[in-house]
Amino acid sequence: MNRRLLAIAGALAALALLIAAAIAANPTLLIAGYDTATVEAVDGETGESLATVEARVADGLAKRYVGLSETDDLAADGGLLFVHGEAGEHAYVMRDMAFGLDIVFVAPNGTVTQIHEAAPDSRPYTRYRGTGRYVLEVPRGWSERNGVEPGDRLVFDLD
């Protein structure tokens, strides 16, 4: 009986190592699915609507870590909205990205605080820093095409 238990324990340990290796190679395996939110960019002075994005919501540690890595492309009106527990300084990198992004930092009240244009071929792990509670990643050039700039607001409803 002891040999059988040792064999089972060894098999379980090997399986655990395989699972850990698979997750390390592809962290998206930890993510079950994303909620979505409609994000509207609004002119900070006039209140005029500038653009609307359908965004996946990254509201957990694993989703924020993975971000848009391993994503082949992003629709012109698509994005990913990162939700942090509280406002603060955050840094984002272009890990395993096939396309460029605008990285839009947003204060708790929805005010855009900083926008970076990030190229997929930027130095590995260049840190794009900004302050806010939310960060919206959209296709590179989206902010300029739609006239979105610091001081404007993002309006969205997270249930």
Stated pTM of the model: 0.78
Indicate whether 44 and 116 sit together in one domain: yes
For residue 26, the model assigns a pLDDT of 46
Calculate the alpha carbon distances from 113 to 40, 44, 69, 87, 110 in Å.
16, 11, 24, 11, 9
* Residue reference for tokens 């296709």: 139
Indicate whether 44 and 111 sit together in one domain: yes
Indicate whether 80 and 96 sit together in one domain: yes
Indicate whether 60 and 132 sit together in one domain: yes
Ranges 75-84, 86-95, 121-130, 142-151: which has the least confidence: 121-130
Indicate whether 69 and 44 sit together in one domain: yes
Question: Rounded to 5 degrees, what are φ and ψ at 83?
Answer: -120, 115
The Cβ-side half-sphere exposure at 87, using a 13 Å CA radius, reads: 11
pLDDT at 21 over 70: no
Instruction: Assign 154 a pLDDT band (cuts: 50, 70, 90).
Output: very high
Alpha-carbon span 15 to 111, nearest angstrom: 47
pLDDT in tens, 41-97: 999 999 999 999 999 999 988 888 888 887 888 899 999 999 999 999 999 988 888
* Residue range(s) defining the domain that contains residue 3: 1-30
What's the average model confidence in pLDDT over 99-109? 95
Indicate whether 93 and 63 sit together in one domain: yes
Asked if 109 and 75 touch (Cβ cutoff 8 Å), the reply is no
